[in-house]
Amino acid sequence: MRTPRDRGVPGAGGTSTINDVARLAGVSIKTVSRVMNNEPNVRPETRDKVQEAATLLHYRPNLLARSLAGARSFLIGLFYDNPNAAYITDMQRGVITRAREQGYHLLIEPQDSHAPDLVSKISSLLATIRLDGVILTPPLCDMAVVLHAIEAAGVPYVRVSPFLNPGRSPCVRMDETQAAYEMTRHLIAMGHKDIGFIRGHPEHGGSHQRYEGFVRALRESQIEPRPEWVKQGYFSYESGVEAGRALFAEKTRPTAVFSSNDYMAFGVMASAQQVGIRIPEDVSITGFDDVPGAMLVWPHVTTIRQPVEALAYAAADILLTRQEGEEGECAPQAPDRLLPFALIERQSVRKA
């Protein structure tokens, strides 16, 4: 097969331009631009010719040029304040996967939700960098001042797992209350009636939803939660250790402990082992999220698998699907998306 250089194709010997692709495909520059931007209303055969020409010429659209040529920047932002490294890694992976399908790039912006200049920083960022959309994770997604700043800038946004004002914007989530309910029912089905609970960070809405599911499952089985067996955690390993020490120092101990995330479950396991409490022979321990570490500790942790990467992909999909509409068109709000979870049974639980 003859190469573009053999055919004397302009641009084949150096850096190719959009003009070279248009000439080789026999179409207009505007058509090439529409294909490169994944815009609708291009005939399949025309799209195929343009993509073949771009491949032959090794053409890659220039992000700055694309941005200057239209109303889009081809950038979406991910704003987060979360110490869970596995959560953030999965969130980034999901957004990037969907963004690349559409020719977009991701701007990652960690934030401090307690910083006094949080709002001014976000407002300044949005004024400086033109983003086509923003994805917010807890707790930022539930902060009214953050939402107002983004709305004032006129930037579309999608929230991941919001707790407050669910109808304010499109959102993606899993049913955290139901997930915690099913985990508690699992422990009850294994014969456990004396169940402790480690609450998550109070500023995260999911913490309250998980505790709600826990309490509902207990009460449906005529079991009242015991306040001395409910300890406050902060979604960190250290807070799990501290909560576990307090729990195991009680005169009577539960036969099972449900931690609101896996990192706290690891901490509870460490505190149990420090005082000679065996897992699962003396106490069963469960977590929530299914981070990679759940398979690295022993015993492996029974947990709820939260579809973080899929949530991120769905959030990016909502933003990018909105961008597919014609420029200037007022797009209706996308429906919320509810994704499934899974209860993963491992070796940290045994029958009471």
Q: Structural domains in the chain? A: 18-61 (1.10.260.40), 71-174+309-339 (3.40.50.2300), 176-305 (3.40.50.2300)
Q: Measuring CA to CA, how many Å separate 280 from each of 158, 256, 277, 329?
A: 41, 9, 9, 58
**In one letter, which amino acid is 224?**
E
Q: How far apart, in whole angstroms, are the C-alpha atoms of residue 351 and residue 70?
A: 62
- Residue 161 gets the label, from left (phi > 0), alpha (psi -120 to 50) or beta, of left
Sign of the torsion angle spanned by Cα atoms 349, 304, 179, 273: positive
Angle at 317 between CA 311 and CA 323, to 5 degrees: 150
What tokens were used for 254? Answer: 């539960």
What is the separation of C-alpha 344 from the centre of its chain, rounded to a whole number of angstroms? 19
Tokens 């800038």, residue located: 153
- Which pLDDT score is estimated for 130? 86
The total of other beta-carbon atoms located within 10 Å of residue 77's CB is: 23
- Which pLDDT score is estimated for 199? 97
Q: How far apart, in whole angstroms, are the C-alpha atoms of residue 229 and residue 231?
A: 6
Q: How far apart, in whole angstroms, are the C-alpha atoms of residue 88 and residue 78?
A: 10
Radius of gyration (C-alpha) of the chain in whole angstroms: 25
- 2-6, 43-47, 241-245, 295-299 — which is least confidently predicted? 2-6
Tokens 């797009």, residue located: 331
What tokens were used for 2? Answer: 């003859």
pLDDT of 117 above 50 = yes
On the CB side of 143, how many CA atoms lie within 13 Å of its CA? 22
| pLDDT tens digits along 199-213 | 999 999 999 999 999
Q: How far apart, in whole angstroms, are the C-alpha atoms of residue 80 and residue 88?
A: 8
Question: Helix or strand or coil: residue 260?
Answer: coil
- 178-182, 281-285, 313-317, 324-328 — which is least confidently predicted? 324-328
Rounded to 5 degrees, what are φ and ψ at 343? -90, 120
Q: Measuring CA to CA, how many Å separate 75 from each of 85, 130, 273, 319?
A: 23, 8, 48, 11
Taking alpha carbons only, the member of 257, 252, 251, 212 closest to residue 231 is 257
- Which pLDDT score is estimated for 323? 67
pLDDT of 92 above 80 = yes
